[in-house]
Amino acid sequence: MKSKQSPNRILLSEREIPKKWYNIAADLEEKPAPPLDPQTRQPISPDRLSAIFPQSLIEQEVTDKKFVRIPQELLKVYAKWRPTPLVRARGLEELLETPAHIYFKNESLSPSGSHKLNTALAQAYYNKLEGVKRLATETGAGQWGTALSMACNYFELGCKVFMVRSSYDQKPYRRAMMQMWGAEISASPSEETNAGKNILETHPDSTGSLGIAISEAVEVAASDVETKYSLGSVLNHVLLHQTVIGEEALKQMEKAGEFPDTIIGCVGGGSNFGGFAFPFIREKLEEKARARNMRVIAVEPSACPTLTRGVFTYDYGDTAGLTPLLAMHSLGHDYIPPAIHSGGLRYHGVAPLISSLVNAGLISPVAYTQNEVFDAAVKFARSEGIVPAPESSHAIRAAIDEALRAKSEGKREVIVFNLSGHGYFDMGAYDDYLQGHLADSSVDEEELQRYLNQLRLQSPPK
């Protein structure tokens, strides 16, 4: 029953934290094409992955179980901030004068400031169980590095972070935050790995990329038996861990007595999007009446248009070509997207699970320019009182446009998006925007076409 007094925030108790993660792969009639061994180009055997991942995560990566139980120990840590609130964005609704109901899942309230902590803790936990001493990883904007540093600190693991050089220089406070949790940080490309040295030889002034930083972290993990590699997005097990977001949101929408007509998330590698959207998409796959017409929108930057313009193919997850080949939309593993403030969305590829759902027509991708996104971010900040991360603001932009469309069509639709993180470490970007200095970095069309054409020459995954 709804009334004028219906709450702004739909809260769940700690007891209502989901007890299982949801594995959408189990529900797909057409399974995503498997990762390939880069040497043999045959489906990679799980054993080959054990140099860089612990056994339990490899099992989660390939499992066909529909649900995976969340260990008690993790539920205990999740309870430090989960369940996160689902918030009715009444301020934004009023600003837009829309009949639409807008909700957002507030993952920015996590101790690390974003959804990344959900999988960081899970990965640290499983590695710890298997006797791993240290995790190596990459970070772009810094959200993932922060989350993994916190998680390693919690489970008493060492943490080595390769931070994309441009972020390392621009965001000293992100670095300080990771050091606060005891992590060891290097600017990438670094002299510590062959992958890094190779880049520096040809590009001594390289400002780095996520792809390069991944190569460095993988190399470190592969060459030290006590160190494993940890990835903050893209892979099945990462998206799996993030489904706590959507499972909670589903319960919360039930409490609100509504069901979304449209769900929206931003997409870089795809982890916040997948984690938020998959439990809702399950309702659609199970052909539940209420979900039949639900639309699912994935939002990316025009400057890194992986889903809207990339080629569906087998490509590496990193620049140096150390990872397995993944069946995904890609701009090319050595393509370097132009600089934007949404470092977390500046990745050449995307999660195979999401690519596969886009191919199946279950997810509609859309792209926005940087100024469109910051315009939405400031509208949201002023009406809801939360400074959103530039990444998350892509979802806000789409939610605003949907709400305005609903208004022009006179429809009382229900729009739900995921606020994946806060923007307190991005005030420099906001300052630029407010002073009118923010550039709409766009892709070099000729260069991008060259990369895409090269990818089109490959035979597509089956």
Q: How far is the CB of 235 from its own copies (least distance, A)?
A: 24
Q: How far is the CB of 428 from its own copies (least distance, A)?
A: 7
Nearer to its own copies, 28 or 439 (CB): 439
Distance CA 364, CA 358 (A): 6
| Residue 46 lies near its own copies (rule: CB under 8 A) | no
Nearer to its own copies, 199 or 387 (CB): 387
Interface residue with its own copies, options 55, 63, 153, 198 (CB under 8 A)? 153
Phi and psi torsions of 370, nearest 5°: -60, -40
Stretch that binds its own copies, among 109-117, 211-219, 272-280, 354-362 (CB under 8 A): 109-117
Interface residue with its own copies, options 19, 130, 169, 180 (CB under 8 A)? 180
Q: How far is CA 295 from CA 38, 242, 246, 365, in A?
A: 36, 20, 15, 11
Stretch that binds its own copies, among 18-26, 110-118, 189-197, 297-305 (CB under 8 A): 110-118
| Residue 449 lies near its own copies (rule: CB under 8 A) | no
| Residue 381 lies near its own copies (rule: CB under 8 A) | yes
Distance CA 265, CA 396 (A): 8
Tokens (6 digits) for 170: 């621009």
Distance CA 375, CA 90 (A): 18
Q: How far is CA 74 from CA 7, 20, 296, in A?
A: 29, 11, 29
Distance CA 93, CA 369 (A): 23
Q: How far is the CB of 396 from its own copies (least distance, A)?
A: 14
| Residue 428 lies near its own copies (rule: CB under 8 A) | yes
| Residue 204 lies near its own copies (rule: CB under 8 A) | no
| Residue 181 lies near its own copies (rule: CB under 8 A) | yes
Nearer to its own copies, 360 or 427 (CB): 427
Distance CA 270, CA 299 (A): 10
Interface residue with its own copies, options 177, 264, 395, 438 (CB under 8 A)? 177
Nearer to its own copies, 79 or 360 (CB): 79
| Residue 14 lies near its own copies (rule: CB under 8 A) | yes
Nearer to its own copies, 58 or 386 (CB): 386
Interface residue with its own copies, options 94, 169, 434, 456 (CB under 8 A)? 434
Nearer to its own copies, 129 or 381 (CB): 381
Nearer to its own copies, 14 or 254 (CB): 14
Nearer to its own copies, 401 or 426 (CB): 426
Do 346 and 391 meet the contact criterion of CB atoms below 8 Å apart? Answer: no
Interface residue with its own copies, options 8, 40, 223, 371 (CB under 8 A)? 8
Largest Cα–Cα distance in the chain?
Answer: 65
Q: How far is the CB of 384 from its own copies (least distance, A)?
A: 8
| Residue 13 lies near its own copies (rule: CB under 8 A) | yes
Stretch that binds its own copies, among 215-223, 256-264, 308-316, 430-438 (CB under 8 A): 430-438
| Residue 179 lies near its own copies (rule: CB under 8 A) | yes
| Residue 51 lies near its own copies (rule: CB under 8 A) | no
Among positions 385-404, residues that touch its own copies (CB under 8 A) are: 385-387
Distance CA 262, CA 282 (A): 14
Tokens (6 digits) for 462: 């089956």
Interface residue with its own copies, options 427, 450, 453, 460 (CB under 8 A)? 427
Q: Give bridge partners of residue 418 from the DSSP assignment.
A: 105
| Residue 184 lies near its own copies (rule: CB under 8 A) | no
Nearer to its own copies, 46 or 111 (CB): 111
Phi and psi torsions of 31, nearest 5°: -70, 145
| Residue 42 lies near its own copies (rule: CB under 8 A) | no
| Residue 79 lies near its own copies (rule: CB under 8 A) | yes
Q: How far apart are the first and last CA of the chain?
A: 48
Stretch that binds its own copies, among 106-114, 222-230, 255-263, 277-285 (CB under 8 A): 106-114
Among positions 359-378, residues that touch its own copies (CB under 8 A) are: 378
| Residue 150 lies near its own copies (rule: CB under 8 A) | yes
Judged by the rule CB under 8 A, the positions of this chain that interact with its own copies are 7-9, 11, 13-14, 79-81, 91, 109, 111-113, 150, 153-154, 172-177, 179-182, 378, 381-382, 384-387, 424-425, 427-428, 430-431, 434
